[in-house]
Amino acid sequence: MARIFLTGSADGLGLLAAQLLLQAGHQVVLHARNEARAQVAQAGAPGAETVVIGDLSSLAGMRQVAEQANQLGRFNAVIHNAGVGYREPRRGATADGLPAVFAVNSLAPYVLTCLIERPARLVYLSSGLHREGDASLHDLTWDTRPWSGYQAYADSKLHDVLLAFAVARHWPQVLSNALEPGWVATKIGGPGAPDSLAEAPKTQAWLATSQAKTALVTGQYFYHQQQRAFLPAAADPAVQDRFLAACARLSGIPFPAST
């Protein structure tokens, strides 16, 4: 059985994936942004090993999460599920001066990938909206662009694919993949979302644990356990490396070399 860490697992797809993994007999470590949310997570997945607590909207919180995760020992897989939705009415600013959508959806997966002891598998939650993301990577932090919550979200979901594919290329010993769960009725998706909520958490759990040949791949993009077409620019090593360089500059954490 595998040992998996899931970010953003107090509710929504993260909690649903945790429940699937627990039902299959795997060990699961949850994550919540504060103590109150941690209690919600534990109630929703009572068989979980523990809950890591830290707010992924700040660099300090990202480091806190990574440190706690490393104290628990190496994981077989990490599922980067935590995310902020597209209905943000204004840019706003985190403690580090960044838009929350970029901090949580884009930079946090990068920082955790760099700092958490390298697992055998990495899984990144993207969205079909990544196809509308800006592959130029211009003004990642929305300092000069007129704010659009929708575009910021689409950009961030492209960033997740870029990160997954960059990791697959730079760390060939790690299985690193991205997926879209579908437009489902979570807090981000909204109550009118048309896709199956029951199917939405299955692919990430499968990519994290399955021994099926179709799951033992890297640098791929999935939907409902099937490979799916993605924005072609996401496969461009130059775009991937520009994203890694930008995240390194913004976080102060360089991307680790393959070892």
> Is 162 part of any domain?
yes
> Is 59 part of any domain?
yes
Burial 43-79 (b: 16+ CB within 10 A, else e): ebbeebeebbbbbbbbbebbbbbbebbeeeeebbbbb
Residue ranges of the alpha helices (H) in 72-107? 100-102
* Residue 213: active-site member: no
> Is 259 part of any domain?
no
> Is 70 part of any domain?
yes
Share of the chain above pLDDT 70, in %: 94
> Is 130 part of any domain?
yes
Annotated catalytic residue, options 86, 124, 157, 223 = 157
Over 50: is that where the pLDDT of 235 sits? yes
* Residue 221: active-site member: no
> φ and ψ at 61, to 5 degrees?
-65, -40
Number of domains in the chain: 1
Q: By three-state DSSP, how is residue 138 classified? A: coil
> Is 201 part of any domain?
yes
Do 204 and 79 form a contact (C-beta atoms < 8 A)?
yes
> Is 256 part of any domain?
no
pTM for this one? 0.96
Task: Name residue 227's beta-bridge partners.
Answer: 222
- pLDDT for 107: 98
**pLDDT tens string 197-206:** 788 899 999 9
> Is 257 part of any domain?
no
CATH code for position 146? 3.40.50.720
Domain that holds residue 165: 3-251
Annotated catalytic residue, options 86, 110, 124, 153 = 153
What residues have CB less than 8 Å from 235, skipping those under 6 apart? 165
- pLDDT for 187: 65
Run of H or E residues at 179 = strand 175-179
Confidence bin at 88 (pLDDT 50/70/90) = confident
